Amino acid sequence: MCTPSASRAAVEAEKAGIPSVTVAGPGFVELAELTGSSNGIPALQVAVYPGPFDLHTDEVLRQNAAKVVVPEIAKALTGKIEPKSAKEKKSPERIVYTGTLEEINKYFSDTGWSDGAAIVPPTPERVQAFLKYTDYAPDQEIAILASANLRATPRIIAANAVMAGARPEHMPILIAMVQAIGDPKYKVSYSRRAGSTHSFQTYYWLNGPLTRQLGIDFGQGLIANPVNHVIGRTMSLIERNIAGYRIKLTQVGTFGKVPSWVLAEDEESALRIGWKPNHVERGFDLNANTVTTGESTVWGQNLIPSTSDPKILMQLIAYDLTKKEQFAAGWNGSRRTLLITPTTAQVLAEGGYTKESLKKELATTARVITYEWAWSKVHGSYGAIYPPFEEELKNTMSESRAEKGKLPPWFPRFPGWEEIKTTPVVSGPGDLEILVLGDPSRNKVQALSANGYNTIQIRLPKNWDELSKAAGYRPLREFVLPAPKGQ
């Protein structure tokens, strides 16, 4: 109750001249008020429902609504409104604090600007070093980030990057990542999930020669590699300081939220087995530098296939897709990102699979018993309201996606199995993304849930070659890949 989207609905009503009240659980009042103030409604009215409504019976819900919520709504609509005073605008170049390293770290942690781990103080000199790596003006608007709706500028992005321990040459990547989550066509998806109680984690993957030039890891270690890690930490701090997601306020993950992580695709391994890198699938040139963002509710257990049979391997991946946590939470038909190690992908490629044909067969094979799917929807969901089980079962059984005679290969065949209905766990091949990366010596597949993707091309400064040479990197042209034969 009182998700950011619910509060935004109240905001839009207020802007249209319709008095509104957001109904919130006890821990969500400040979230609702902050959502209102950051969207131009300084006194969004809130009625508090007592307790976790999902765990209450219909009778308790009715009693609480009549005795608690309705009176609070009436009071909110008829009482005196006291708008909170607007905050004073301050210069982005101001010095906010001076002191020892220990004092600075404590101050930034106490004010909520850091994640509690040690930071590098973002002095003007350090920030300026980052600003050299972009052609954008220091205070030019890169994006407006929900839910705080604050302006992300190169100067503010750089300050967070300094704090996280990133390097100046990471600046073009960080700007592209901010553009990705702030893009209007992606912004609603991001803002609905970044602060969610479901603990969605934002992740990013990179393609192009820039990743190889800067040493962003796509092999063993991957997200824990120092370069990947500091870029991910920067985005977590940006999420905190520009998007405005703070724990116990606007970041309300029930069990908390892990920091954002960064991947890079092993394009050379993908091309070696005849598979297109992800950004090429998305319509970009092979040597374009891109960043793609998505969200997942979990990192989770990986699949360890032990077979040289490509058909069985595909079936194992399909089986894994049906067992991820989103299905148990009543969310079928959602998108997935598959991370496949190069040697595992090679088994599939040698069996005749391209990325496209693998997605198609996975979408066909990854199915669950429709009865089970209906049960999951009713008793465990992301907030959708369903009718009683028997009624929802009838509805689910009548859906066009629920078909007979398509029992997955891991289910035993028995008399009458042809009459069992099953439902696919992804809507189609377009809901699957495949990345080749990770330890090439291991047989691993990792399935991540996903709720939307956005890809941005990275814009390098005009003097990138000069800057990167001065920073000790080989020229970018040395990391360009030749086009595969026949393309």
Closest Cα to residue 445, out of 337, 341, 363, 298?
341
User: Residue 16 and residue 9: Cα distance in Å, rounded?
Assistant: 11
Residue 230 has pLDDT above 80, yes or no: yes
For 457, how many CA atoms within 13 A lie in the half-sphere containing its CB? 11
SS3 3: coil
**Where is pLDDT greater, at 186 or 97?**
97
pLDDT score, position 435 = 97
**Where is pLDDT greater, at 216 or 69?**
216
**Where is pLDDT greater, at 281 or 450?**
281
35-55: average pLDDT: 63
Helical H segments across 165-208, by residue range: 171-182, 184-193
Parallel/antiparallel/unpaired status of strands 432-436 and 445-450: unpaired
pLDDT in tens, 362-394: 999 999 999 988 988 888 766 677 889 999 999
pLDDT score, position 2 = 46
User: Considering the chain, what percentage of its residues have pLDDT values greater than 70?
Assistant: 79
Confidence of residue 41 (pLDDT cuts 50, 70, 90): low
Residue that the structure tokens 């390098």 belong to = 460
pLDDT in tens, 158-174: 999 999 999 999 999 99
Residue that the structure tokens 């970009």 belong to = 284
Helical H segments across 48-153, by residue range: 58-64, 70-78, 101-110, 124-131
Bridge partners, residue 449, by sequence: 336
Bridge partners, residue 456, by sequence: 291
Structure tokens at 167: 């390097």
pLDDT score, position 301 = 81
pLDDT in tens, 277-292: 999 999 999 999 999 9
Q: Is the pTM of this model over 0.75?
A: yes
Contact 479, 212 (CB under 8 A): yes
Confidence of residue 1 (pLDDT cuts 50, 70, 90): very low
Residue that the structure tokens 């049979």 belong to = 309
Closest Cα to residue 240, out of 126, 164, 129?
164
439-444: average pLDDT: 95
pLDDT score, position 262 = 96
Residue 28 has pLDDT above 80, yes or no: no
Fill in the DSSP letter of residue 166.
-
User: Considering the chain, what percentage of its residues have pLDDT values greater than 90?
Assistant: 57
Number of Cβ atoms within 10 Å of the Cβ of 187? 18
Residue 359 has pLDDT above 60, yes or no: yes
Domain assignments of the chain as residue spans, ordered by start: 4-78, 101-366+429-479, 368-424
Give the contacts of 422 (CB within 8 A, at least 6 positions apart): 367, 368, 369, 370, 402, 403, 406, 407, 408
Proportion of the chain in helix, strand, coil states, percent, rounded to 5? 45, 15, 45
User: What CA–CA distances, in Å, run from 221 to 205, 215, 227, 262, 433?
Assistant: 15, 12, 11, 11, 21
